[in-house]
Structure 1
Protein backbone atom coordinates (compact mmCIF):
# COMPACT_ATOMS: atom_id res chain seq x y z
CA UNK A 1 0.00 0.00 0.00
CA UNK A 2 3.06 2.23 0.01
CA UNK A 3 2.36 3.03 -3.63
CA UNK A 4 -1.13 4.14 -2.63
CA UNK A 5 0.30 6.71 -0.26
CA UNK A 6 2.74 7.86 -2.90
CA UNK A 7 -0.19 8.38 -5.25
CA UNK A 8 -2.11 10.23 -2.56
CA UNK A 9 0.83 12.50 -1.82
CA UNK A 10 1.38 13.14 -5.52
CA UNK A 11 -2.32 13.94 -5.94
CA UNK A 12 -2.26 16.46 -3.14
CA UNK A 13 0.99 18.11 -4.25
CA UNK A 14 0.33 18.18 -7.98
CA UNK A 15 -1.66 21.42 -8.15
CA UNK A 16 -3.37 23.58 -5.52
CA UNK A 17 -6.26 25.57 -6.95
CA UNK A 18 -8.31 27.90 -4.75
CA UNK A 19 -6.98 26.22 -1.64
CA UNK A 20 -8.39 22.82 -2.68
CA UNK A 21 -5.77 20.19 -3.49
CA UNK A 22 -5.98 18.37 -6.79
CA UNK A 23 -4.18 16.43 -9.52
CA UNK A 24 -3.30 17.48 -13.03
CA UNK A 25 -5.74 16.71 -15.82
CA UNK A 26 -5.18 17.38 -19.50
CA UNK A 27 -8.72 18.05 -20.56
CA UNK A 28 -9.74 20.77 -22.95
CA UNK A 29 -13.43 20.63 -22.14
CA UNK A 30 -15.22 23.50 -20.44
CA UNK A 31 -18.13 21.19 -19.63
CA UNK A 32 -18.40 19.31 -16.34
CA UNK A 33 -18.57 15.55 -16.52
CA UNK A 34 -22.24 15.47 -15.56
CA UNK A 35 -23.31 15.19 -19.20
CA UNK A 36 -20.75 12.48 -19.94
CA UNK A 37 -21.50 10.29 -16.93
CA UNK A 38 -24.54 11.61 -15.15
CA UNK A 39 -25.28 8.34 -13.44
CA UNK A 40 -21.84 7.89 -11.91
CA UNK A 41 -22.52 10.35 -9.13
CA UNK A 42 -26.04 9.48 -8.11
CA UNK A 43 -25.94 6.02 -6.55
CA UNK A 44 -27.07 5.51 -2.95
CA UNK A 45 -25.60 2.01 -2.71
CA UNK A 46 -22.06 3.19 -3.36
CA UNK A 47 -20.42 6.46 -2.46
CA UNK A 48 -21.95 8.41 -5.34
CA UNK A 49 -22.72 12.07 -4.99
CA UNK A 50 -26.48 11.72 -4.66
CA UNK A 51 -26.80 14.95 -6.57
CA UNK A 52 -30.31 15.72 -7.67
CA UNK A 53 -31.36 16.78 -11.14
CA UNK A 54 -32.04 20.35 -12.15
CA UNK A 55 -33.86 22.14 -9.39
CA UNK A 56 -34.31 25.38 -11.25
CA UNK A 57 -37.15 26.65 -13.33
CA UNK A 58 -39.18 29.77 -13.89
CA UNK A 59 -38.04 32.64 -11.67
CA UNK A 60 -34.86 30.82 -10.66
CA UNK A 61 -33.79 30.34 -14.28
CA UNK A 62 -34.45 34.00 -14.95
CA UNK A 63 -32.35 35.02 -11.95
CA UNK A 64 -29.49 32.82 -13.15
CA UNK A 65 -29.51 34.54 -16.54
CA UNK A 66 -29.73 38.07 -15.19
CA UNK A 67 -26.47 40.03 -15.72
CA UNK A 68 -24.69 40.71 -12.44
CA UNK A 69 -22.35 43.44 -13.73
CA UNK A 70 -19.31 41.91 -12.09
CA UNK A 71 -17.22 42.39 -15.23
CA UNK A 72 -17.45 46.17 -14.73
CA UNK A 73 -15.54 45.98 -11.43
CA UNK A 74 -11.80 46.02 -10.85
CA UNK A 75 -10.02 42.68 -11.16
CA UNK A 76 -9.48 42.53 -7.39
CA UNK A 77 -13.14 43.26 -6.67
CA UNK A 78 -14.22 40.60 -9.17
CA UNK A 79 -12.09 37.95 -7.47
CA UNK A 80 -13.21 38.98 -3.99
CA UNK A 81 -16.89 38.82 -4.96
CA UNK A 82 -16.43 35.52 -6.77
CA UNK A 83 -14.65 33.85 -3.86
CA UNK A 84 -17.29 35.11 -1.41
CA UNK A 85 -20.17 33.89 -3.60
CA UNK A 86 -18.59 30.50 -4.21
CA UNK A 87 -17.78 29.89 -0.56
CA UNK A 88 -21.32 30.90 0.41
CA UNK A 89 -23.02 28.44 -1.97
CA UNK A 90 -25.06 25.88 0.02
CA UNK A 91 -24.03 23.06 -2.35
CA UNK A 92 -21.81 22.62 -5.37
CA UNK A 93 -20.20 20.05 -7.63
CA UNK A 94 -16.43 19.96 -8.22
CA UNK A 95 -15.00 18.18 -11.25
CA UNK A 96 -11.42 17.75 -12.40
CA UNK A 97 -11.86 15.55 -15.49
CA UNK A 98 -10.70 11.97 -14.97
CA UNK A 99 -9.57 12.79 -11.41
CA UNK A 100 -12.36 14.18 -9.21
CA UNK A 101 -16.15 14.29 -9.32
CA UNK A 102 -17.55 15.33 -5.95
CA UNK A 103 -20.77 16.96 -4.77
CA UNK A 104 -20.70 18.65 -1.37
CA UNK A 105 -22.58 20.94 0.98
CA UNK A 106 -21.74 23.32 3.78
CA UNK A 107 -22.95 20.84 6.41
CA UNK A 108 -19.87 18.63 6.02
CA UNK A 109 -21.40 16.14 3.57
CA UNK A 110 -19.50 15.14 0.45
CA UNK A 111 -19.72 12.23 -1.99
CA UNK A 112 -18.47 11.11 -5.36
CA UNK A 113 -15.24 9.81 -6.87
CA UNK A 114 -11.55 10.62 -6.42
CA UNK A 115 -8.84 8.96 -8.50
CA UNK A 116 -5.75 8.68 -6.29
CA UNK A 117 -4.02 7.07 -9.24
CA UNK A 118 -5.03 6.63 -12.85
CA UNK A 119 -6.08 2.99 -12.39
CA UNK A 120 -7.59 3.27 -8.91
CA UNK A 121 -10.66 5.54 -8.75
CA UNK A 122 -12.16 5.54 -5.27
CA UNK A 123 -15.78 6.09 -4.26
CA UNK A 124 -15.83 8.52 -1.38
CA UNK A 125 -18.44 9.49 1.20
CA UNK A 126 -17.79 12.04 3.93
CA UNK A 127 -20.11 13.14 6.73
CA UNK A 128 -18.42 15.71 8.93
CA UNK A 129 -15.11 14.05 9.86
CA UNK A 130 -16.23 10.49 9.15
CA UNK A 131 -15.09 9.14 5.79
CA UNK A 132 -15.81 5.95 3.81
CA UNK A 133 -13.70 4.98 0.79
CA UNK A 134 -13.99 1.98 -1.55
CA UNK A 135 -12.40 1.11 -4.93
CA UNK A 136 -14.84 1.83 -7.73
CA UNK A 137 -13.64 -1.20 -9.69
CA UNK A 138 -12.88 -3.72 -6.97
CA UNK A 139 -11.99 -6.54 -9.34
CA UNK A 140 -9.29 -4.46 -11.01
CA UNK A 141 -8.05 -2.96 -7.76
CA UNK A 142 -7.64 -6.22 -5.85
CA UNK A 143 -6.01 -7.87 -8.86
CA UNK A 144 -3.35 -5.17 -8.78
CA UNK A 145 -0.30 -4.74 -6.61
CA UNK A 146 -1.87 -2.32 -4.15
CA UNK A 147 -4.99 -4.39 -3.66
CA UNK A 148 -3.02 -7.59 -3.11
CA UNK A 149 -0.84 -5.84 -0.54
CA UNK A 150 -3.91 -4.59 1.31
CA UNK A 151 -5.48 -8.06 1.39
CA UNK A 152 -2.37 -9.42 3.11
CA UNK A 153 -3.07 -7.27 6.18
CA UNK A 154 -6.86 -6.91 5.84
CA UNK A 155 -8.01 -10.26 4.36
CA UNK A 156 -11.67 -9.26 4.52
CA UNK A 157 -11.26 -5.91 2.74
CA UNK A 158 -12.98 -7.00 -0.47
CA UNK A 159 -16.47 -5.60 -0.71
CA UNK A 160 -15.92 -3.25 2.22
CA UNK A 161 -15.26 0.42 2.77
CA UNK A 162 -12.14 1.79 4.44
CA UNK A 163 -13.69 3.83 7.23
CA UNK A 164 -12.59 6.18 9.95
CA UNK A 165 -12.02 9.74 11.05
CA UNK A 166 -10.28 12.19 8.75
CA UNK A 167 -8.39 13.33 11.84
CA UNK A 168 -6.93 9.87 12.48
CA UNK A 169 -6.30 8.47 8.99
CA UNK A 170 -3.85 10.01 6.55
CA UNK A 171 -5.44 8.55 3.44
CA UNK A 172 -8.96 9.55 4.48
CA UNK A 173 -7.77 13.03 5.42
CA UNK A 174 -6.05 13.57 2.07
CA UNK A 175 -8.88 12.17 -0.01
CA UNK A 176 -11.60 14.07 1.82
CA UNK A 177 -9.55 17.26 1.68
CA UNK A 178 -11.14 17.84 -1.72
CA UNK A 179 -14.42 18.38 0.15
CA UNK A 180 -13.29 21.55 1.93
CA UNK A 181 -14.96 24.01 -0.40
CA UNK A 182 -15.32 26.64 2.33
CA UNK A 183 -11.56 27.23 1.91
CA UNK A 184 -11.56 27.81 -1.84
CA UNK A 185 -10.25 31.37 -1.60
CA UNK A 186 -7.69 30.74 1.09
CA UNK A 187 -4.64 30.83 -1.17
CA UNK A 188 -5.93 33.28 -3.78
CA UNK A 189 -4.16 36.65 -3.68
CA UNK A 190 -6.74 39.01 -5.15
CA UNK A 191 -4.31 41.97 -5.07
CA UNK A 192 -2.50 40.27 -7.95
CA UNK A 193 -5.60 39.91 -10.12
CA UNK A 194 -5.55 40.99 -13.77
CA UNK A 195 -8.41 40.94 -16.26
CA UNK A 196 -7.68 38.79 -19.31
CA UNK A 197 -10.97 38.82 -21.23
CA UNK A 198 -14.31 37.05 -21.51
CA UNK A 199 -15.34 33.53 -22.48
CA UNK A 200 -18.05 30.95 -21.83
CA UNK A 201 -18.02 27.89 -19.57
CA UNK A 202 -20.69 25.25 -20.14
CA UNK A 203 -22.78 27.82 -21.98
CA UNK A 204 -22.48 30.49 -19.27
CA UNK A 205 -20.90 33.86 -19.99
CA UNK A 206 -17.84 34.54 -17.83
CA UNK A 207 -15.13 37.09 -17.22
CA UNK A 208 -11.60 35.71 -16.95
CA UNK A 209 -9.10 36.90 -14.35
CA UNK A 210 -5.52 35.80 -13.75
CA UNK A 211 -4.51 35.67 -10.11
CA UNK A 212 -1.66 34.30 -8.01
CA UNK A 213 -2.45 31.26 -5.90
CA UNK A 214 0.45 30.24 -3.70
CA UNK A 215 3.33 29.85 -6.20
CA UNK A 216 1.13 29.45 -9.26
CA UNK A 217 -0.73 31.84 -11.53
CA UNK A 218 -4.22 30.54 -12.25
CA UNK A 219 -7.06 31.80 -14.40
CA UNK A 220 -10.50 32.08 -12.85
CA UNK A 221 -13.58 32.14 -15.06
CA UNK A 222 -16.36 33.92 -13.18
CA UNK A 223 -20.05 33.99 -14.08
CA UNK A 224 -21.35 37.34 -15.31
CA UNK A 225 -24.97 36.20 -14.92
CA UNK A 226 -26.72 35.36 -11.67
CA UNK A 227 -24.37 34.91 -8.73
CA UNK A 228 -20.72 35.61 -9.65
CA UNK A 229 -19.64 32.03 -9.00
CA UNK A 230 -16.28 30.68 -10.06
CA UNK A 231 -17.17 28.24 -12.84
CA UNK A 232 -13.67 27.18 -13.80
CA UNK A 233 -10.10 27.52 -12.58
CA UNK A 234 -7.24 26.57 -14.88
CA UNK A 235 -3.51 26.34 -14.27
CA UNK A 236 -1.45 26.12 -17.47
CA UNK A 237 1.77 24.18 -16.87
CA UNK A 238 4.23 22.31 -19.07
CA UNK A 239 1.98 22.64 -22.09
CA UNK A 240 -1.00 21.22 -20.20
CA UNK A 241 -3.98 22.99 -18.65
CA UNK A 242 -5.34 21.25 -15.54
CA UNK A 243 -8.87 22.42 -14.87
CA UNK A 244 -11.23 22.54 -11.95
CA UNK A 245 -14.89 22.93 -12.93
CA UNK A 246 -17.57 24.05 -10.49
CA UNK A 247 -21.30 23.68 -11.08
CA UNK A 248 -24.66 22.72 -9.55
CA UNK A 249 -24.56 25.60 -7.07
CA UNK A 250 -27.42 25.34 -4.59
CA UNK A 251 -28.94 22.24 -6.18
CA UNK A 252 -30.46 19.66 -3.81
CA UNK A 253 -27.91 17.17 -2.49
CA UNK A 254 -28.76 14.15 -0.39
CA UNK A 255 -25.65 12.19 0.60
CA UNK A 256 -25.82 8.40 0.26
CA UNK A 257 -26.73 6.31 3.28
CA UNK A 258 -23.92 5.49 5.69
CA UNK A 259 -22.54 1.99 4.99
CA UNK A 260 -23.26 -0.42 7.87
CA UNK A 261 -20.37 -1.28 10.19
CA UNK A 262 -20.27 -4.86 8.87
CA UNK A 263 -19.30 -3.48 5.46
CA UNK A 264 -16.31 -1.48 6.72
CA UNK A 265 -12.80 -1.95 8.07
CA UNK A 266 -10.74 0.43 10.19
CA UNK A 267 -8.63 2.84 8.13
CA UNK A 268 -6.14 3.75 10.86
CA UNK A 269 -5.48 0.11 11.74
CA UNK A 270 -5.04 -0.81 8.08
CA UNK A 271 -2.57 2.02 7.60
CA UNK A 272 -0.60 1.00 10.67
CA UNK A 273 -0.43 -2.60 9.47
CA UNK A 274 0.61 -1.57 5.97
CA UNK A 275 3.34 0.81 7.05
CA UNK A 276 4.74 -1.76 9.43
CA UNK A 277 4.79 -4.52 6.82
CA UNK A 278 6.13 -2.30 4.03
CA UNK A 279 8.68 -0.74 6.38
CA UNK A 280 8.63 2.41 4.28
CA UNK A 281 6.01 4.65 5.81
CA UNK A 282 4.81 7.72 3.95
CA UNK A 283 6.09 8.17 0.45
CA UNK A 284 7.96 4.88 0.49
CA UNK A 285 8.27 2.71 -2.59
CA UNK A 286 6.84 -0.72 -2.96
Structure 2
Protein backbone atom coordinates (compact mmCIF):
# COMPACT_ATOMS: atom_id res chain seq x y z
CA UNK A 1 0.00 0.00 0.00
CA UNK A 2 1.61 3.23 -1.15
CA UNK A 3 -0.78 5.75 0.37
CA UNK A 4 1.84 7.03 2.79
CA UNK A 5 4.36 7.60 0.00
CA UNK A 6 1.77 9.40 -2.11
CA UNK A 7 0.85 11.68 0.78
CA UNK A 8 4.43 12.79 1.29
CA UNK A 9 4.96 13.18 -2.45
CA UNK A 10 1.95 15.48 -2.70
CA UNK A 11 3.19 17.64 0.16
CA UNK A 12 6.66 17.93 -1.32
CA UNK A 13 5.28 18.59 -4.79
CA UNK A 14 3.27 21.43 -3.31
CA UNK A 15 6.48 22.85 -1.87
CA UNK A 16 8.46 22.23 -5.02
CA UNK A 17 5.83 24.08 -7.02
CA UNK A 18 6.99 27.04 -5.08
CA UNK A 19 10.47 26.92 -6.46
CA UNK A 20 12.42 29.17 -5.07
CA UNK A 21 17.14 34.17 -4.11
CA UNK A 22 21.06 36.68 -2.51
CA UNK A 23 20.52 39.06 0.29
CA UNK A 24 18.90 42.36 -0.55
CA UNK A 25 17.63 45.07 1.76
CA UNK A 26 15.34 48.02 1.27
CA UNK A 27 16.29 51.63 1.89
CA UNK A 28 13.19 53.61 2.86
CA UNK A 29 10.80 53.66 -0.06
CA UNK A 30 13.45 52.63 -2.57
CA UNK A 31 12.61 49.56 -4.61
CA UNK A 32 15.29 46.94 -3.80
CA UNK A 33 14.60 45.29 -7.15
CA UNK A 34 14.80 48.46 -9.24
CA UNK A 35 16.15 47.65 -12.71
CA UNK A 36 15.73 43.88 -12.31
CA UNK A 37 13.47 41.79 -14.52
CA UNK A 38 10.81 39.59 -12.91
CA UNK A 39 12.90 36.52 -13.78
CA UNK A 40 15.96 38.02 -12.04
CA UNK A 41 13.92 38.79 -8.93
CA UNK A 42 12.74 35.17 -8.89
CA UNK A 43 16.36 34.01 -9.19
CA UNK A 44 17.27 36.07 -6.12
CA UNK A 45 14.28 34.66 -4.24
CA UNK A 46 15.29 31.11 -5.13
CA UNK A 47 18.83 31.57 -3.86
CA UNK A 48 17.89 33.36 -0.64
CA UNK A 49 15.17 30.85 0.25
CA UNK A 50 17.46 27.91 -0.44
CA UNK A 51 20.40 29.44 1.45
CA UNK A 52 18.22 29.99 4.52
CA UNK A 53 18.35 26.21 4.96
CA UNK A 54 15.27 25.83 7.13
CA UNK A 55 11.73 27.19 6.85
CA UNK A 56 8.07 26.42 7.50
CA UNK A 57 5.12 26.46 5.12
CA UNK A 58 1.37 26.44 5.66
CA UNK A 59 -1.55 26.51 3.28
CA UNK A 60 -4.26 24.72 1.35
CA UNK A 61 -4.38 22.75 -1.87
CA UNK A 62 -7.07 20.87 -3.75
CA UNK A 63 -6.96 17.32 -5.06
CA UNK A 64 -9.89 15.97 -6.98
CA UNK A 65 -11.98 18.91 -5.82
CA UNK A 66 -11.23 18.14 -2.15
CA UNK A 67 -9.50 20.86 -0.11
CA UNK A 68 -6.57 19.74 2.04
CA UNK A 69 -4.76 21.67 4.75
CA UNK A 70 -0.98 21.43 4.61
CA UNK A 71 1.63 22.46 7.17
CA UNK A 72 5.22 21.37 7.50
CA UNK A 73 8.68 22.46 8.54
CA UNK A 74 11.97 21.73 6.79
CA UNK A 75 15.30 21.47 8.61
CA UNK A 76 18.60 22.56 7.10
CA UNK A 77 19.56 18.89 6.80
CA UNK A 78 16.59 18.31 4.50
CA UNK A 79 14.67 16.35 7.13
CA UNK A 80 11.08 17.52 7.52
CA UNK A 81 7.84 17.00 9.44
CA UNK A 82 4.26 18.06 9.01
CA UNK A 83 0.59 17.29 8.59
CA UNK A 84 -1.77 17.10 5.65
CA UNK A 85 -5.43 16.21 5.19
CA UNK A 86 -9.03 17.30 5.68
CA UNK A 87 -11.96 16.71 8.03
CA UNK A 88 -13.70 14.69 5.34
CA UNK A 89 -10.87 12.30 4.44
CA UNK A 90 -8.80 12.37 7.60
CA UNK A 91 -5.46 13.84 8.59
CA UNK A 92 -1.99 12.32 8.41
CA UNK A 93 1.30 13.30 10.01
CA UNK A 94 4.54 12.67 8.22
CA UNK A 95 8.25 12.65 8.98
CA UNK A 96 11.19 12.36 6.63
CA UNK A 97 14.45 11.56 8.41
CA UNK A 98 17.54 10.77 6.37
CA UNK A 99 16.64 8.08 3.86
CA UNK A 100 13.41 7.06 5.57
CA UNK A 101 9.85 8.43 5.71
CA UNK A 102 7.16 7.77 8.31
CA UNK A 103 3.41 8.41 8.23
CA UNK A 104 0.86 8.25 11.07
CA UNK A 105 -2.80 9.05 10.46
CA UNK A 106 -6.20 9.11 12.14
CA UNK A 107 -8.80 6.36 11.71
CA UNK A 108 -10.70 8.22 9.01
CA UNK A 109 -7.63 8.45 6.79
CA UNK A 110 -6.67 4.78 7.15
CA UNK A 111 -10.26 3.61 6.75
CA UNK A 112 -10.33 5.39 3.42
CA UNK A 113 -7.16 3.57 2.39
CA UNK A 114 -7.77 0.05 3.61
CA UNK A 115 -10.91 -0.22 5.70
CA UNK A 116 -11.53 -0.54 9.43
CA UNK A 117 -9.09 -3.45 9.86
CA UNK A 118 -6.24 -1.32 8.53
CA UNK A 119 -7.27 1.59 10.74
CA UNK A 120 -7.26 -0.69 13.78
CA UNK A 121 -3.88 -2.17 12.88
CA UNK A 122 -2.28 1.24 12.43
CA UNK A 123 -3.96 3.14 15.26
CA UNK A 124 -1.37 5.35 16.90
CA UNK A 125 1.45 3.77 14.88
CA UNK A 126 3.88 5.04 12.26
CA UNK A 127 4.28 3.37 8.85
CA UNK A 128 7.89 3.27 7.74
CA UNK A 129 9.18 3.28 4.15
CA UNK A 130 12.46 4.10 2.36
CA UNK A 131 12.54 7.36 0.42
CA UNK A 132 12.31 6.58 -3.26
CA UNK A 133 15.34 8.68 -4.19
CA UNK A 134 17.39 7.30 -1.32
CA UNK A 135 17.83 10.80 0.11
CA UNK A 136 15.68 13.20 2.10
CA UNK A 137 12.68 14.31 0.04
CA UNK A 138 12.70 17.83 1.50
CA UNK A 139 16.21 18.92 0.53
CA UNK A 140 16.03 22.74 0.08
CA UNK A 141 18.53 22.47 -2.79
CA UNK A 142 15.97 20.43 -4.71
CA UNK A 143 12.89 22.33 -3.57
CA UNK A 144 13.99 25.87 -4.38
CA UNK A 145 15.06 25.61 -7.98
CA UNK A 146 14.83 28.58 -10.31
CA UNK A 147 15.06 26.80 -13.66
CA UNK A 148 11.26 26.76 -13.99
CA UNK A 149 10.83 30.39 -13.01
CA UNK A 150 10.91 31.87 -16.49
CA UNK A 151 8.77 34.33 -18.45
CA UNK A 152 7.48 36.01 -15.32
CA UNK A 153 5.79 39.39 -15.15
CA UNK A 154 6.01 41.84 -12.27
CA UNK A 155 2.66 43.17 -11.05
CA UNK A 156 1.83 45.88 -8.50
CA UNK A 157 3.46 45.33 -5.11
CA UNK A 158 1.34 43.94 -2.26
CA UNK A 159 1.59 42.94 1.40
CA UNK A 160 1.84 39.49 2.96
CA UNK A 161 1.19 39.47 6.70
CA UNK A 162 2.19 43.13 6.90
CA UNK A 163 5.37 42.67 4.86
CA UNK A 164 5.93 44.52 1.58
CA UNK A 165 6.27 42.09 -1.31
CA UNK A 166 7.08 42.20 -5.00
CA UNK A 167 4.43 40.29 -6.94
CA UNK A 168 5.46 38.07 -9.85
CA UNK A 169 3.09 36.10 -12.05
CA UNK A 170 3.67 33.19 -14.39
CA UNK A 171 0.95 32.13 -16.82
CA UNK A 172 0.71 28.83 -18.67
CA UNK A 173 -2.55 28.46 -20.55
CA UNK A 174 -5.38 28.74 -17.99
CA UNK A 175 -2.97 28.33 -15.07
CA UNK A 176 -1.57 31.32 -13.18
CA UNK A 177 1.01 31.10 -10.39
CA UNK A 178 1.69 34.20 -8.31
CA UNK A 179 4.89 34.56 -6.28
CA UNK A 180 5.29 37.10 -3.47
CA UNK A 181 8.91 38.08 -2.71
CA UNK A 182 9.99 40.00 0.41
CA UNK A 183 11.19 43.55 -0.30
CA UNK A 184 12.68 44.09 3.15
CA UNK A 185 15.60 42.08 4.46
CA UNK A 186 16.48 39.04 2.40
CA UNK A 187 14.26 38.43 -0.61
CA UNK A 188 12.61 35.26 0.61
CA UNK A 189 9.48 33.83 -0.94
CA UNK A 190 6.61 34.84 1.36
CA UNK A 191 3.70 33.30 -0.47
CA UNK A 192 2.79 31.37 -3.61
CA UNK A 193 -0.72 31.05 -5.06
CA UNK A 194 -1.69 28.75 -7.92
CA UNK A 195 -5.00 29.07 -9.77
CA UNK A 196 -6.44 27.36 -12.80
CA UNK A 197 -4.50 24.09 -12.47
CA UNK A 198 -5.86 20.63 -11.61
CA UNK A 199 -4.47 21.00 -8.08
CA UNK A 200 -4.71 24.71 -7.15
CA UNK A 201 -3.45 25.95 -3.82
CA UNK A 202 -1.93 28.67 -1.69
CA UNK A 203 1.16 28.42 0.52
CA UNK A 204 2.62 30.94 3.00
CA UNK A 205 6.29 30.68 4.01
CA UNK A 206 7.85 31.76 7.30
CA UNK A 207 10.55 30.87 9.82
CA UNK A 208 13.45 31.07 7.39
CA UNK A 209 16.69 30.13 9.09
CA UNK A 210 15.06 29.12 12.37
CA UNK A 211 16.05 25.70 13.79
CA UNK A 212 13.73 22.79 13.00
CA UNK A 213 14.07 19.59 15.02
CA UNK A 214 13.01 16.38 13.28
CA UNK A 215 13.45 12.97 14.91
CA UNK A 216 12.45 9.47 13.88
CA UNK A 217 9.68 7.98 16.05
CA UNK A 218 10.52 5.33 18.68
CA UNK A 219 10.93 1.87 17.15
CA UNK A 220 8.06 0.52 19.30
CA UNK A 221 5.67 2.92 17.55
CA UNK A 222 6.65 1.84 14.03
CA UNK A 223 4.74 -0.81 12.08
CA UNK A 224 6.43 -3.22 9.70
CA UNK A 225 5.11 -2.35 6.17
CA UNK A 226 4.62 -6.06 5.44
CA UNK A 227 2.08 -6.24 8.26
CA UNK A 228 0.06 -3.51 6.55
CA UNK A 229 -0.48 -5.70 3.50
CA UNK A 230 -1.40 -8.64 5.68
CA UNK A 231 -3.97 -6.60 7.58
CA UNK A 232 -5.46 -4.65 4.70
Q: TM-score range by the shorter chain?
A: 0.7 to 0.9
Distance 1:86 1:187, change over 3 A: closer
**Shift of residue 129 of structure 1?**
1.7
More strand by share: 2
Structure 2 distance, partners of 1:86, 1:228, is: 8
Structure 1 distance, partners of 2:109, 2:100, is: 23
**Shift of residue 110 of structure 1?**
0.7
Distance 1:132 1:231, change over 3 A: same
Unaligned segments of structure 1, at least 5 residues: 21-63, 278-286
1:163 corresponds in structure 2 to 128
Q: TM-score, normalised by structure 2?
A: 0.74
Which of 202, 206, 220 is matched with 2:161 structurally? Answer: 202
Structure 2 distance, partners of 1:141, 1:271, is: 14
Q: Which gives a bigger RCO, structure 1 or 2 (Cα 8 Å, sep 6+)?
A: 1
Runs in 1 of length 4+ with deviation above 4 angstroms?
A: 4-16, 212-216, 270-274
Deviations 1:94-146 (A, max 9, x none): 112342100112202211212289522111111122112101x34x445x343
**Shift of residue 208 of structure 1?**
0.3
Structure 2 distance, partners of 1:71, 1:168, is: 37
Say yes or no: does 1:193 pair with 2:152: yes
Deviations 1:221-262 (A, max 9, x none): 000000000111111227x9621211111112222x432212
Say yes or no: does 1:236 pair with 2:195: yes
CA RMSD, aligned part only?
Answer: 4.0
**Shift of residue 196 of structure 1?**
0.9
Structure 1 distance, partners of 2:82, 2:8, is: 20
Which of 16, 19, 42 is matched with 1:79 structurally? Answer: 42
Whether the aligned pair in 1 keeps the contact of 2:179 and 2:193 (CA below 8 Å) is yes
1:18 corresponds in structure 2 to 18
Structure 1 distance, partners of 2:133, 2:25, is: 46
1:70 corresponds in structure 2 to 32
Say yes or no: does 1:94 pair with 2:57: yes
